Structure 1
């Protein structure tokens, strides 16, 4: 299960760090042009282990019935490495990413046990947006998430002009340090990751521009388990992109959970409706998260019943659906139900 975005979300540049994969195979990227006639040029730049690896430009004939293109990310003779791709064009397009080999860690020591069981994932990455050199984004790009279903986060820097030498900085906070935080340099070479295997939660903030964050999600049989049974990928929207009102979502028949984050106005359990009933009619977990001089709330609710469900909230929120044991004990599915695209301005 994954969110298929509107073509209105297409962009002309994507910077995407590859998640951890088994045997060095990082995954495959399909190019999906919006134009349906003529040819467009697409440039693909690859980095591996922090170094330039490849640069190729292809001509993509967008006419119906013509050959399609995909990118395979698998540098030869490298098993334990980080990698990223930057894909750009003069015409807007979408990309989809998939891999049948995703794992929690790609350390090639043969001792990571069950976390190294591979899983299939697919999702649509978000484009990056142009930012003026040394510009200031207001309000800042701010995101929050816990580690309950999170292994790692991948951050993409904004697009900038070729003559801009700005170094993009993001401040990362956690539950024990939600005031000062740690500054991290965000680059396009595949090293911009936030590991949550040793942190209970995190908040991120930057004024340098919009920086898409993707979650390598994981499902566990119980919350303090060290073993991750299956994985999924999806975008983590900024708090400016959270939705309000009613959301529809799809779940499988069993072993599914909804995870949602709300602002203060959306945290009243007597005002949140799940399938038309107040949330107090269900079992739920509610935890506060204090970031950016505000209090947010993290909810978890078990979902029962195959098909469509609804969540209603008058406050601002973001909603994810996570299902475990989908096709096997080591397979999971998770997706973002929707978000409001932030306007691109500094």
Structure 2
């Protein structure tokens, strides 16, 4: 089913030999029986993509080299594999998808934890161990793909299929009640969506960041208070005062170890939660006595499987939650990475394909 009018495409590929991006011409892949071939409409940049260029000890593994980067995108089906799940999609369907492939999708870990821990041990991640989405066409696993609901625009919705699912579950998994206080730590690409989800769930929100433009975005998304934790020396005491003793949950979307070190001071003692979402280069350091004596709890969020993708996307459609997306050409991806590294990005940055 379906046809593609050419045999090669442009792809932004990371090459570990020189630690740089290269705009290459590569073959357009053919879908296997369990896959659909998608013409990418929008691919957006996530901080995890940038970690390819950095030394890290958090388990980020490069597979093929060079590899097309990018792991959040939306697009339109142009061809399907012959399998029963793939054949449920049809040419012209606007879809979103997640990046885990070659896992079973059926074991306990795939269904309840994360595809990364699939019992087969064969999981690969598109954008890292296999080609990702900063290219014109991509084959994705039909089991991790969904047709976009009404109200979700294929040209702008790419960030929902990593940042959105991650932010939604990072907020929801705190299990707060309406009216309780939540700190969104890091109000950029993930956090500006986290603020929207938190407000839609009825929480009172404090936005924290070191970039004023990110804090401005947080206010635009509905944050009740915002603080620059770099320029306001009294931000911790102000948060504790506003919240009457500390936030009920602090959801950390940043890759800053210092931001994690700062979180316990603003969490309500005895009942508060630190939700770990962002991944710093260095391992986190937690005070064992704090945890043992119940000063606060620590939790992670299952932030992206085919089983929890749909609730996040449907909630986004129902509550009109949209990413702030600044668009660029594929050739400008190095510029996007430079902007992200300089902390000058507001919302999410993405490539929109013609």
TM-score (norm 2): 0.27
Question: Between Structure 1 and Structure 2, which shows a larger proportion of helix residues?
Answer: 2
TM-score (norm 1): 0.28
Question: Between Structure 1 and Structure 2, which shows a larger proportion of strand residues?
Answer: 1
